[in-house]
Amino acid sequence: MGKLAIGNKVPDFRLPATGDKTVSLADFSGQRVVLYFYPKDSTPGCTTEGQDFRDRINTFRRRNTAVLGISRDSLKSHENFRTKQQFPFDLLSDSDEKLCRLFDVIREKNMYGRKVMGIERSTFLIDENGVLRNEWRKVKVAGHVEEVLEAIKSL
């Protein structure tokens, strides 16, 4: 499967999610969807990013937009993270990196002087018809959720 481009339809996917569910893009037909990919549960930047989405969830909902967080962490790790932070949205486990690769978010990173492959913090906005409308790569957490909300307003 090739890389996604803005203006293209996003293929349906199914991933295990918190709450003992399997989530697919088709579940959100008629809604906008924000997919935010983050490196690791319970780390400082990922926690702040999740909290920012949590704190603005009612604004997203009023704009007919679902929020889903995605990382390679296990469901058990996701459940703990979601419960501790009281996230009102599901976290999806992409342990085999299928969705990460579709959205091209796996990058070589430097971690304590070692090169490792990991998720580059990225967010994608999908419209009601399943079309990719916007993407943010190399996301800086501060102010990011506001940028996403502005993009939703302009749809």
Structure tokens at 11: 């293929």
Among candidate residues 35, 46, 75, 91, the one labeled active-site is 46
User: What CA–CA distance (Å, rounded) separates 104 from 35?
Assistant: 13
46 labelled catalytic: yes
- Contacts by 140-143 with C-beta closer than 8 Å and gap 24+? 141/45, 141/48, 141/49, 141/52
Best CA proximity match to 95, nearest among 117, 70, 114: 70
Catalytic residue set: 46
